[in-house]
Chains A and B, each alone.
Chain A
């Protein structure tokens, strides 16, 4: 063993107290609770914003669907199934052509954001409550 190794062996060992270990773990729990809380409120805000966006986009889609005739074609498909079975190809092509694309894409995209943010809000909300409960205990 070298002389420096021997020298450093004379230093008193650093033994952390159990209280410090608890304090560190508690600090991490607190940080987890804080991070989960931030995620929860951010996801909740996005969820509400996207919900408003979805409502607006659905109204836009409905107006565009009425203007393009998509609503009429779609209601015909439900009200008279005979037309659908006898002119499947022609009816299908017309129905597809009449879909208001940009409005449909916007509504679907906002719906996806709403679902994802709601999932994150639910998950982080549960984690936040659990972390707070553990911290309080």
Chain B
């Protein structure tokens, strides 16, 4: 049964359909909440809260649209609420500053600017990816997780993050650049920043 059919049945109060949706989307929801919370226990609480919120708002879900971005948007909001309460910091502090020093060049990079092979190989073998990802600001982690782990399109990521597609693409480039810089610093200390953009 497809998502729209399940969601329609769930909207009518069918408990089996609700359970099927939970089973289908729990891995994705838990993955995003784990990436955002960085703590398994907290991620489980966030996942539970996200599904309860989704159930509460199920009548508002448009079955003509894909379910995953809607569900992941609720998950992200639940995670941000948790993080805000837990850290007692303003919402704006969870997002990176767009004018971060040294990253202005990110917008000039191609969307899929590859990682240097050596960095990639060492990062893969050292299992440093999760640690590097955890150091990124929330917005970068969300974009990269949705793009590479959930394999969502930029349009769907825009749906999750309530942003236009071009903005998401820009965030994605910046997130890639930040991750590249972090991995380079971690696996090849001393090499510093990623290559400057070429203007030839």
Report B24-53 CB contacts with A as 1/0, cut-off 8 Å: 001100110010000000001001110110
Given that A24-B51, A25-B22, A31-B52 are known contacts, is A8 also in contact with B149, CB under 8 Å in the complex?
Answer: yes
Give which listed residue, B51, B117, B120, contacts A28 with CB less than 8 A: B51
Which B residues touch A21, using CB under 8 A?
22-23, 26
**Listed stretches B62-70, B95-103, B121-129; interface member:** B121-129
Say whether B87 faces chain A, with CB atoms less than 8 Å apart: no
Within the complex, which residue of B18, B114, B115 is in contact with A25, where a contact is CB–CB below 8 Å? B18
A117→B5 CA distance, assembly (Å): 31
Instruction: State whether A14 and B34 are in contact (beta carbons under 8 Å apart), knowing that A2-B112, A21-B22, A31-B55 are contacts in the complex.
Output: yes
Contacts of B148 in A (CB 8 A): 4-5, 7-8
Asked whether A15 is an interface residue with its Cβ less than 8 Å from the other chain, the reply is yes
Tell me if B149 and A11 are in contact (CB < 8 A). Answer: yes
Q: What B residues does A8 contact at CB under 8 A?
A: 129, 144, 148-149
Residues of A within 8 A of B49 (CB): 27
> In the bound complex, how far is the Cα of B130 from the Cα of A14, in angstroms?
12
Contact A20 B124 (CB under 8 A): no
CB pairs A–B below 8 angstroms (23 shown): A2-B114, A3-B117, A4-B144, A4-B148, A4-B176, A7-B120, A7-B123, A7-B129, A7-B148, A8-B144, A10-B127, A11-B130, A11-B149, A14-B27, A15-B27, A16-B47, A20-B47, A21-B23, A21-B26, A24-B22, A24-B47, A28-B22, A35-B56
> Which residues from chain A sit less than 8 Å from chain B, CB to CB?
2-8, 10-16, 20-21, 23-25, 27-29, 31-32, 35, 127, 134
* Interface residues, chain B, with chain A CB atoms under 8 Å away: 13, 15, 18-19, 22-23, 26-27, 30-31, 34, 44, 47-49, 51-52, 55-56, 112, 114-115, 117, 120, 123-124, 127, 129-130, 133, 144, 147-149, 176, 179, 183
